[in-house]
């Protein structure tokens, strides 16, 4: 399946976007909620997101060594991108960042076939303030990875881009809430 932004927007509208009164993880109130797991765990959604993100990654120049992000939200995104890359015979691997380092075994917070010094891209579903993706950036950098950029499915336009810019990182997203006629709150 090739990336088609309009197909992704239709799927987000029908499957992930809910309107009403919601309390976000930050504690802020919002008039809409985006449950992107309903897209990243959907057969067409997983393919559209992977195709869009892989296209974005390739447009940025050389292919990084790996993509990954904070468990659980980034896991299906990472898996879909890696699978699509494999089908295209691209050497792009995946990794995941645990919320806390493992308490046994090697005690790692970053898991997967990555090594210190490699360039990576952090992936995320919904970007609000950027907090979750920034935690993934911190863990990846502590592991020794070089984070090139952050790519999300949708930007709520609530400060995430500015938070990444303060860290010298670029945020790219497949969509924003404005694609649904919603202005930032």
Residues belonging to the binding site for orotate are 128, 156
Does a cis peptide bond (omega within 30 degrees of 0) precede residue 29? no
Phi-psi region of 101 (alpha: psi -120 to 50; beta: other; left: phi over 0): beta
Binding site, annotated residues: 98-99, 102, 104, 124-132, 156
Binding site, annotated residues for 5-phospho-alpha-D-ribose 1-diphosphate: 98-99, 102, 104, 124-132
């Amino acid at each position: 399946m090739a990336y088609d932004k309009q197909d992704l927007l239709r799927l987000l509208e029908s499957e992930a976007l809910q309107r009403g009164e919601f309390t976000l993880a930050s504690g802020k109130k919002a008039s809409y909620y985006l449950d992107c797991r309903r897209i990243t765990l959907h057969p067409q959604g997983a393919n559209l997101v992977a195709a869009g993100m892989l296209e974005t990654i390739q447009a940025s120049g050389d292919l990084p060594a790996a993509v990954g992000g904070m468990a659980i939200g980034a896991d299906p995104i990472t898996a879909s991108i890696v699978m699509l890359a494999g089908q295209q015979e691209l050497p792009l691997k995946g990794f995941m960042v645990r919320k806390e380092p493992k308490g046994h075994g090697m005690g790692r917070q970053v898991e997967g076939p990555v090594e210190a010094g490699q360039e990576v891209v952090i992936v995320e579903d919904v970007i609000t303030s950027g907090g979750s993706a920034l935690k993934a950036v911190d863990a990846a950098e502590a592991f020794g990875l070089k984070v090139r950029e952050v790519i999300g499915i949708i930007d709520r336009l609530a400060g995430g881009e500015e938070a990444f810019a303060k860290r010298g990182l670029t945020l790219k997203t497949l969509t924003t809430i404005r694609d649904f006629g919603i202005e930032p709150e």
